[in-house]
């Protein structure tokens, strides 16, 4: 969004300092002007804010159709930083070692105290963020994706704008046979924040949750999945304004187009269940 020039420069410096082959970098200004960037860094300034998935899709296409000019794409939020100069080499080694590995999710760590928020561990058993594992989703601002995944299943859902776009891509990738790893040794420093700081958070989380189910789940699982999340939301006792926004988004999710429907196979449902997160939670 162009409002973190100092953090962006620090991030780009940490990318430039990575060991191994140089990393080609594209910075997307999502409806915003960009500050001066280091030599060799490409920039794309979009006239309008396309949202998180829309902006990232533009970045993907900067590397050829579905990113095909490179083998792997890193996605890093502009207020993050790679503290370890060996991260890129670990990413390369991970993809080289496992041809079916499609996505790697990094561990997000607060630079002040080293803590990792539970919401940044992409599995239900999130009490130990230092344990790596196979997972069923990933973190949008700290990940690496094999470009063959985009070529096979498509990019992120543009119309989501914000929230759950990673899970939509993850479910499609898993249904296509790819694996997703959470790697605790791949660290992105990022300040601890609350997602509810965004004014649109509650509405879009609810709307996109409905879209996610309508797009990807077998019909019998859609009401189960959405009822579970409705109950969880109420039990968390949000404020009256937040709950009103959430229910408004929930209704919007049913009344508006969700994009193409490609329900996952039942074997994928079973695979998600074996990985510890059946697609009703």
- pLDDT tens for 5-60 read 999 999 999 999 999 999 999 999 999 999 999 999 999 999 999 999 999 999 99
Torsion over CA: 180, 158, 52, 212 (sign): negative
pLDDT at residue number 198: 59
pLDDT at residue number 192: 84
245-261 mean pLDDT? 97
Asked if 138 and 181 count as a contact pair (C-beta separation under 8 A), the reply is no
> Does residue 252 surpass a pLDDT of 90?
yes
- Which structure tokens are listed for 40? 């060799």
Asked if 193 and 205 count as a contact pair (C-beta separation under 8 A), the reply is no
> Does residue 270 surpass a pLDDT of 60?
yes
Map out the domains of the chain as residue ranges. 5-193, 196-274
pLDDT at residue number 197: 56
pLDDT for 91-101, tens place per residue?
A: 999 999 999 99
pLDDT at residue number 194: 74
Residue 163's CB: how many other CB atoms inside 10 A?
Answer: 26
Q: Would you tell me the crossing angle of helices 165-175 and 201-216 to the nearest 10 degrees?
A: 20
pLDDT for 129-162, tens place per residue?
A: 999 999 999 999 999 999 999 999 999 999 999 9
pLDDT for 49-90, tens place per residue?
A: 999 999 999 999 999 999 999 999 999 999 999 999 999 999
pLDDT averaged over the chain? 95
165-180 mean pLDDT? 98
> Does residue 196 surpass a pLDDT of 80?
no
Residue 63's CB: how many other CB atoms inside 10 A?
Answer: 17
% of the chain beyond a pLDDT of 70:
98
**In CATH terms, is domain 5-193 a member of 3.90.550.10?**
yes
68 Cβ contact partners less than 8 Å away, ≥ 6 residues apart: 147, 151
> Does residue 199 surpass a pLDDT of 90?
no
């Amino acid at each position: 969004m162009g409002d973190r020039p100092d953090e962006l420069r620090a991030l780009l410096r940490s990318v430039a300092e990575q060991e191994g082959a140089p990393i080609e970098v594209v910075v997307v200004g999502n409806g915003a002007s960009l500050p001066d960037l280091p030599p060799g860094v490409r920039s794309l300034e979009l006239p309008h804010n396309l949202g998180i998935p829309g902006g990232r899709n533009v970045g993907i296409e900067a590397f050829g159709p579905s990113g095909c000019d490179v083998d792997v794409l890193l996605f890093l939020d502009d207020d993050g930083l790679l503290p370890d100069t060996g991260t890129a080499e670990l990413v390369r080694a991970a993809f080289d070692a496992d041809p079916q590995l499609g996505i790697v999710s990094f561990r997000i760590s607060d630079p002040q105290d080293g803590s990792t928020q539970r919401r940044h561990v992409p599995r239900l058993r999130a009490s130990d963020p230092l344990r790596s594992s196979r997972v069923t989703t990933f973190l949008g601002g700290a990940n690496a994706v094999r470009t063959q995944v985009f070529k096979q299943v498509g990019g992120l859902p543009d119309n989501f704008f914000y929230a759950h776009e990673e899970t939509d891509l993850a479910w499609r990738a898993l249904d296509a046979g790819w694996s997703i790893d959470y790697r605790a040794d791949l660290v992105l420093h990022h300040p601890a924040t609350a997602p509810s700081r965004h004014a649109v958070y509650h509405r879009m989380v609810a709307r996109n949750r409905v879209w996610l189910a309508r797009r990807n789940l077998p019909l019998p699982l859609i009401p189960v999945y959405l009822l579970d999340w409705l109950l969880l939301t109420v039990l968390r006792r949000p404020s009256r304004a937040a709950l009103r926004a959430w229910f408004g988004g929930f209704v919007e999710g049913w009344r508006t187009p969700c994009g193409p429907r490609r329900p996952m196979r039942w074997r994928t449902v079973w695979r998600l269940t074996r990985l510890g997160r059946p697609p009703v939670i």
